[in-house]
């Protein structure tokens, strides 16, 4: 849930002028993510958000310049994989990633954000992510990428 929430925070500050932690918490709640102000504060620190001036005055949250276009999604995914993935298997053009309970949504969100070339879709439950690979011949390549995240 933390990774999913932090990815949503990044998305919100890139798309909107979020000026306060309370506005960020309100927007997260509107997106269906219940948070406290303390959680938002911790997330802001962990993501490394900064305040930058707006043209019409005041300040808004933003990613630091060095992170604007290159968020360390790969590093976050590697940590999540090492902490949460139990097993990876495949059949035909489908890859199943089994996780600890509650971790599948965050991992699926990361897959969606890094946009794996050969993966045309993901479906996540509580502890399982289904990756749909096209063409079927690309499954070994995608499996290699996933297994590298576990090492």
Q: Which whole number is the average pLDDT over 72-77?
A: 64
Q: Could you tell me where the DSSP H helices lie in 48-138?
A: 73-84, 104-114
pLDDT at 62: 92
List beta partners, residue 130. 96, 123
This prediction's pTM = 0.56
Q: What is the DSSP letter of 92?
A: T
Residue 77 has pLDDT above 80, yes or no: no
Nearest to 92 by CA among 142, 148, 128: 142
**CA distances (Å), origin 57, targets 19, 102, 115:** 11, 41, 36
Distance CA 137, CA 132 (A): 12
Conformational region of residue 97, where left means phi above 0, alpha means psi within -120 to 50, and beta covers everything else: beta
Q: Where are the domains of the chain?
A: 2-62, 73-150
Mean per-residue pLDDT for 46-53? 90
Q: Which CATH number is 73-150 given?
A: 3.30.1360.40
Q: What is the architecture, at CATH level 2, of domain 2-62?
A: Orthogonal Bundle (1.10)
């Amino acid at each position: 849930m933390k990774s999913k929430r932090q990815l949503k925070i990044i998305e919100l500050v890139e798309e909107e002028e979020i000026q306060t932690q309370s506005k960020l918490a309100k927007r997260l709640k509107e997106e269906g993510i219940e948070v406290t102000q303390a959680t938002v504060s911790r997330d802001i620190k962990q993501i490394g958000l900064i305040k930058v001036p707006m043209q019409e005055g005041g300040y808004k949250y933003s990613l630091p310049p060095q992170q604007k276009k290159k968020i360390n999604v790969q590093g976050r995914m590697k940590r999540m994989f090492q902490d949460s993935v139990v097993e990876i298997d495949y059949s035909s053009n489908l890859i199943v990633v089994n996780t600890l309970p509650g971790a599948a949504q965050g991992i699926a969100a990361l897959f969606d954000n890094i946009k794996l070339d050969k993966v045309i879709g993901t479906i996540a439950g509580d502890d399982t992510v289904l990756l749909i690979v096209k063409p079927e011949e690309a499954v070994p390549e995608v499996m290699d990428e996933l297994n590298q995240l576990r090492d």
